[in-house]
Structure 1
Amino acid sequence: MFALEMTADLTGVTNLRPVDTPESPYYYSFRVQCTSCREVHDKWVDFDRFTTRDLSKSRGEANFVYKCRNCTRESSATIKTAPKAYVAASPPTKQVIVEFECRGCELTEFRVSAEWVADGVSGIVFEGVDLAEDWYDYDEKAGEEVSVKEVGWVIRRA
């Protein structure tokens, strides 16, 4: 099991989460390493929690299935939990966003993709939060600037 952990400095917002519904799935983007030969896949891989693929030598299925180009071993990853919202904390703390079960591979690096949503402390919902860089907006109801800064990601064995 692997856990994707996030830290972020939130001002005026909380419950930061990816938009992840069957109608609009969030594509998790990772660098993947084969646990057999230690070869790192040369491209980013993207998968969502609503799409599954059959495993070739099993009755099982997973959200991500690939065959290592170096050793030809099949590996897979399955998203085990729906994403959890990152809750504002002072100071910022590591919080698990989502968990994955990996067989034959390791998730080594995460890349943010798509948009996120955050709840303003005044009750306004901010859509289109882009975490590729620091994000700023203005909460009309509260009359204050809101932000998500210093976002950090860690992939940890759970």
Structure 2
Amino acid sequence: MVKIGLQISGTLENVAKLVAPQPDFTYFMKLQCASCQEVTDSWVAVSAAEQVAGRSGRNTVNFLSVCKFCHKEKVMNVLQETNTPYLKDDEDRFKTIIAFDCRGVEPVEFDFRDGWTVVSDGGREFTDVAIEDGEWVDFDEQLKASVGLYDMKSKFVKV
């Protein structure tokens, strides 16, 4: 078992925190087979809300696939207990926001997409936020100011 953390970094404008709400949040990743090193062509969706039967039939997992090149099994679980918000204090530094239990596979690329929750400095909650091209912008009526996420980046690290 290898635990791999998703780290994000970015600039927050009038944003107190950015959260990937569990268990319904879907992570879109490109995955690399641990055996043959082949990387998936398309984005793979992994969510704690998704439960599929493991090949042995004894347990459930969040993601199960077989490499189309070497035919080895790939299994991944979202470790919900590691879910951590990205806070204003974390701005412009990489921080692990979630970890995955990976067997036979490693995530190598992440696409932010939608489903995020953003809480402004004024306390307003924005739900189902879509981060496109590393950015998101809106307006907080209470603050009478724009709120935004800029230059959002990600990387994966072993934890």
TM-score relative to the length of structure 2: 0.88
- Report the Cα offset of residue 42 of structure 1: 2.4
Q: Aligned partners of 1:146 and 1:3: how far apart in 2? A: 27
Gaps of 5+ in 1: none
- Report the Cα offset of residue 74 of structure 1: 0.7
Q: Aligned partners of 2:121 and 2:108: how far apart in 1? A: 34
- Report the Cα offset of residue 113 of structure 1: 2.5
The equivalent of 2:154 in structure 1 is 153
Percent of counterpart pairs with the same letter?
Answer: 25
Q: Are 1:33 and 2:32 an aligned pair?
A: yes
- Report the Cα offset of residue 148 of structure 1: 0.9
- Report the Cα offset of residue 20 of structure 1: 3.6
Q: CA RMSD in A?
A: 1.8
- Report the Cα offset of residue 122 of structure 1: 1.3
- Report the Cα offset of residue 7 of structure 1: 0.5
Cα deviation, 1:23-53, whole Å, max 9, x if unaligned, reads xx22111111111111222221112102221
The equivalent of 1:49 in structure 2 is 48
The equivalent of 2:123 in structure 1 is 123
Cα deviation, 1:106-140, whole Å, max 9, x if unaligned, reads 11111122232211111211234221132222222
1:2-151 pair list within 5 angstroms: 2-21=4-23, 25-57=24-56, 59-82=58-81, 83-89=83-89, 91-133=91-133, 134-151=135-152
Count of residue pairs brought into register by the alignment? 155
- Equivalent AA in structure 1 for residue 86 of structure 2: Y
- Equivalent AA in structure 1 for residue 52 of structure 2: R
| Secondary structure, aligned partner of 1:89 | helix
- Equivalent AA in structure 2 for residue 67 of structure 1: V
Structure 1 stretches of at least 4 aligned residues deviating more than 4 Å after TM superposition: none
- Report the Cα offset of residue 91 of structure 1: 5.0
